[in-house]
Chain A
Amino acid sequence: MVHKPRNSLLASGVSKYSRSQVIAKRALYKRKPAGTVAAAPAVANKTVEVKGAKNGGKRVIAASKAPRFYAAEDVPTPLKNRKHAGTAKLRSTIVPGTVLILLAGRYRGKRVVFLKQLESGLLLVSGPFKVNGVPLKRVNQAYVIATSTKVDIDASKIDAQLNDAYFARAKAGKKAATEEAFFEGEKKKEPLAENKVALQKSTDKVILEAVNKVEHLRQYLSAKFSLSKGQAPHALKF
């Protein structure tokens, strides 16, 4: 709500009101409290009959158990972190269908088609696989150069299944097998799940349709980018 500022500066770094004073100035007279939260029904202590003479006949069992362990010294707990990193802003040069050059990683130098930006901020990208061997993959914007070449694809045609959860690593949680596996040696590489292969093919089909319409674009995507003699990146026009 827009109103006059609640605080003011007396001098550099010195405000007129402290934090708690500023918060107290909230015009509560015109606000209704949200409604008191209903107190959780108090669980009464249980009283239990105990057998045996001289035992007092009854025991009172507390509703909530006391902790079994008390630290010898007070350990300072770290303050809660309330900061969250925002998601990366997509560069204006990167648009669904843009051909990107991967600068680092296993596929460095490859030219690749940009599909969409995922919630984590990473870019979803595909070779297409048939053309240059790059599968559906997430890539960080900082490790990519956007070229001015664009493939005409419809962003809405990209499968909604493709999100960050799709790329999460399968948990290897077989604790029982670890000892044997350790002595066995190398882990067998599992073949890619069938639904992932199918999704790769269907996504690439859409891209390839658009790619094949443009002359030389397929060969362009299959060629690797490289700086050659005398080329300085700052002088290149991508």
Chain B
Amino acid sequence: MNANTCFPSGHEEPRSGRSETQHSRPATLYAKGRVLGFKRAKRNQRPDISLIQIEGVKTAADTDFYLGKRVAFVYRAKREVNGSKIRCIWGRITRTHGGSGAVKARFRNNLPAKSFGASVRVMMYPSRV
């Protein structure tokens, strides 16, 4: 059951009227994002900071909610480590990038270039709400 529609109004209702066909895949307690690439100028790039596009975030003003939030790049590997083939690189969103809702993030270890275009989970914590 969709927990969000059955309850007293005024709780967790999306402020903007958003049609359901606009965004793909449901996520639970995180917002979905994509890795756009590294921070870069035309010919040089700085791999320590990655650019992330968060779903549903279209303007720089909207990104304020996400600053400081932790981000997880989850990926699969062939070799099992600590009982799992799934691995994760954690990071945090540090600042806005540009005017259209992209965001810069710094990870504990730099993201591999293989991750460009891959999904990233933007958690809702540390929460300031």
A residues apposed to B, CB below 8 Å = 91, 93, 103-104, 108-109, 141-149, 215-216, 219-220, 223-238
Contacts and interface: CB of A to CB of B under 8 A. Distances in A.
B125 A143 contact: yes
Interface in B77-129: 123-129
A225 B55 CA distance: 19
B48 interface: no
A223 B57 contact: no
- Band of interface residues on B: 35 or more
Contacts of B30: 227
Tell me what chain B mostly uses at the interface: helix, strand, loop, or mixed: loop
Interface string B10-25: 1111111011101111
A142 B27 CA distance: 20
A235 B14 contact: yes
B55 A147 contact: no
Contact of B4 (A103, A141, A226): A226
B53 to A, nearest CB: 12
Contacts of B24: 229
B123 A104 contact: yes
13 contacts: A91-B128, A103-B29, A103-B123, A219-B6, A225-B4, A227-B29, A227-B31, A229-B23, A230-B18, A231-B4, A234-B64, A236-B13, A236-B15
A226 B16 CA distance: 18
Contacts of B12: 147, 225, 236-238
